[in-house]
Structure 1
Amino acid sequence: METASKSASGSNPKNQLSRPSAFGIHFFFILYSLLCIIPLFLIIMVSISDESAVIREGYQFFPSSYDLGAYLFLFKDATQIFRSYGISIFVTVVGTLLSLIVMALYAYPISRSDFPHAKPFTFFVFFTMLFGGGLVPWYLVYVQMLDLKDSIWALIIPLIISAFFVLIMRTFFMTTIPSAVLESAKIDGAGELMIFMRIVLPLSLPVLATVALFQTLTYWNDWFLSLVFITKDANITVQYLMYKTMLNIQFLANNTTAAAAIQAAGGSFRFPSETVRMAMVIVGIGPIIFAYPFFQKYFVRGLTVGAVKG
């Protein structure tokens, strides 16, 4: 009787971790979080350090002198930076939404056992993970056939579908969405589109949020598409702008002939080469640092949607 009362009171639940185990787990994740945050803190401090202090003392968490010259150097062309920011934000938001729509619409039919062509379409998307046409045919398709050169859609369309994420969505739909729910919706007169919009998507928020997060990072960090398809500065992303700036700095720092020509023309050749690299990292991070906290609430909400409640 006494044992039963202790068990009922919950003083010693079976799944509770011991204090040493809980301390070890918390210590591990605190240490891991610090290992992720400390390098970012160092980058921020170096970016606001004086260039001569960095060259003399190296990278310091607390430099001897501070200077915002790196940011002033970058924002001398503030109009281009803000325009590239707008391009990156537009490409990221629109590209992520289109990716989710297209991949979900492709993954859902091939996850249904009553779809007669599920296996051929699944093999088709899986085949693209193993073999590709190569860079030149890929370029010719977008430039000559689709005529997307110097178009903002050239930064969106090539990344819309990821075969890996399509297969992940397909597996999620097959293993998580109860077939009985779909059958009951059909009996009640719901069509396929209604079932997909009102039942499948709300129950699939965890996988949708996960794919959206990775696609957001992919679109925001991409600079290669700007390099290949964009020749006008009006449509380049902020990542490619930072990439071009870094290449120009490296060229001027390593090319004595160019430096002599600039000085002979009366120009100034002094620029914060070390600190500006770190400033470009901070500028390139931008609003993407807030992406995970935004999607995290959808992870939690998606885990509770459709759960058995009593």
Structure 2
Amino acid sequence: MASRTKFESGLDKFNRVRPGTNVVFNLIFIVLALLCLIPVIVVLSISFSSEDSIRNSGYHIFPTAFSGEAYHYIAQQGTMISKALGISVLVTVVGTVLGVMLTTSMGYVISRPNYKLNGLLTWIVFIPMVFNGGLVSSYYINSNLLGLKDTVWALILPLAVSSFNVIICKTFFRSTIPDALIESAEIDGSSQLRIFFSIVLPISLPVLATIGLFLCFAYWNDWFQSMLYINNQNLYSLQALLNSLMSNVDALARNASVMGVSYAELVAKMPKESARMAVAIIIVLPVAVAYPFFQKYFISGLTVGAVKG
């Protein structure tokens, strides 16, 4: 605490000597934020551009020829997209809740210094961060041994727990939860489950929000698990379905010459580049809307242990 107070007093003194420092840094961060927004604006612009304008003049920050063909094409697939959206929401909600509970409970266990298997479990968690069994072994276990193929659980369980998230939880619990608090609860006769759910979790909102946001991003953006384990299109997630739609458009465009004239013309008029960008906007929008509500806890969870008192 003394070193932190000394650092803060030195920072205050520096700011008094250089009153324009904060203004300069604020301007730098504003410019960097605007630079990060430019790709999003370009993607949005392309999604509202006509295919002919993209083909003739390329990409622009503002549409040279405004068109809603891409969103109209996606809306025509409304039934499939609605079903896939439901699967994505279900997988994201269930997977995030399950993943947070499993990750935090594992992180809490290995954060307790008096636990006898602490060292062994820490190595078991750490080793997969450096080495992994590979895609073939994962597919065999999930498909053949666990029988997850063509089930919703194939989209949930493989992503529920990661070593990186467990290490974050361990660091947070070890540096934030006082040992005296746990010992006093044990003296009062509380079980470890009671301590974890009634004492530890209520004061661990930063790490819960951080892990929850990591998992939410992972589940919402995932299409690879669907490609591996799902053959039933009724179980496609939104990302997998939209990726399939874009692949079908490309396949139809490549084989237009072997189709009838009218059908080939229809395929030629299908939006391709604009539809891809529209898909990107649809996928990013829910996460972009939800992120500001978790930002405060997210930053607190990531910076845990960065400053030692």
Q: Deviations over 1:181-221 (max 9, x none)?
A: 11122223322112111221122221221111111111111
Alignment map for 1:257-268 (pairs within 5 Å): 258-264=255-261, 266=263, 268=266
Give the residue type in structure 2 aligned to 1:209.
A
3-state SS, counterpart of residue 113 of structure 2: coil
Higher mean C-alpha deviation, range 21-30 or range 261-270: 261-270
3-state SS, counterpart of residue 200 of structure 1: helix
Alignment map for 1:1-310 (pairs within 5 Å): 14=13, 16=15, 18-253=18-253, 255=254, 258-264=255-261, 266=263, 268-269=266-267, 270-299=269-298
Unaligned runs of 5+ in 2: 1-11, 303-309
Please report how far the alpha carbon of residue 248 of structure 1 lies from its aligned counterpart in structure 2 after TM superposition: 2.2
| Counterparts of 2:178 and 2:32, CA distance in 1 | 37
| Counterparts of 1:123 and 1:300, CA distance in 2 | 27
Contact 2:177 2:200 in 1 (8 A): yes
What TM-score do you get using the length of structure 2 for normalisation? 0.87
| Counterparts of 2:263 and 2:299, CA distance in 1 | 60
| Counterparts of 2:22 and 2:58, CA distance in 1 | 39
Please report how far the alpha carbon of residue 15 of structure 1 lies from its aligned counterpart in structure 2 after TM superposition: 6.3
3-state SS, counterpart of residue 13 of structure 2: coil
- Identity among equivalent pairs (%): 41
| Counterparts of 1:262 and 1:295, CA distance in 2 | 50
Please report how far the alpha carbon of residue 299 of structure 1 lies from its aligned counterpart in structure 2 after TM superposition: 4.8
Give the residue type in structure 2 aligned to 1:206.
P
Give the paired residue count. Answer: 289
Please report how far the alpha carbon of residue 249 of structure 1 lies from its aligned counterpart in structure 2 after TM superposition: 2.5
Per the alignment, do residues 60 and 265 of structure 1 end up closer, same or farther by CA in structure 2, a change over 3 Å counting?
closer
Give the residue type in structure 2 aligned to 1:289.
A
Please report how far the alpha carbon of residue 136 of structure 1 lies from its aligned counterpart in structure 2 after TM superposition: 1.8
Q: Deviations over 1:100-124 (max 9, x none)?
A: 1001111111111111111111111
| Counterparts of 1:300 and 1:161, CA distance in 2 | 21
Give the residue type in structure 1 aligned to 2:284.
I
Unaligned runs of 5+ in 1: 1-12, 304-310
| Counterparts of 1:166 and 1:64, CA distance in 2 | 49
Give the residue type in structure 2 aligned to 1:173.
F
Q: Deviations over 1:56-87 (max 9, x none)?
A: 22222222321101111122111111111111
Contact 1:223 1:240 in 2 (8 A): yes
Please report how far the alpha carbon of residue 265 of structure 1 lies from its aligned counterpart in structure 2 after TM superposition: 6.9
Give the root-mean-square deviation of aligned CA atoms. 2.1
Per the alignment, do residues 19 and 142 of structure 1 end up closer, same or farther by CA in structure 2, a change over 3 Å counting?
same
* Structure index of larger Rg: 1
Per the alignment, do residues 56 and 265 of structure 1 end up closer, same or farther by CA in structure 2, a change over 3 Å counting?
closer
Please report how far the alpha carbon of residue 297 of structure 1 lies from its aligned counterpart in structure 2 after TM superposition: 4.7
| Counterparts of 1:248 and 1:287, CA distance in 2 | 25
| Counterparts of 2:123 and 2:130, CA distance in 1 | 11
Give the residue type in structure 1 aligned to 2:153.
W
Please report how far the alpha carbon of residue 298 of structure 1 lies from its aligned counterpart in structure 2 after TM superposition: 3.9
Higher mean C-alpha deviation, range 49-58 or range 76-85: 49-58
Please report how far the alpha carbon of residue 45 of structure 1 lies from its aligned counterpart in structure 2 after TM superposition: 1.5
| Counterparts of 1:129 and 1:22, CA distance in 2 | 39
Per the alignment, do residues 143 and 75 of structure 1 end up closer, same or farther by CA in structure 2, a change over 3 Å counting?
same
| Counterparts of 1:132 and 1:48, CA distance in 2 | 43
Please report how far the alpha carbon of residue 263 of structure 1 lies from its aligned counterpart in structure 2 after TM superposition: 2.8
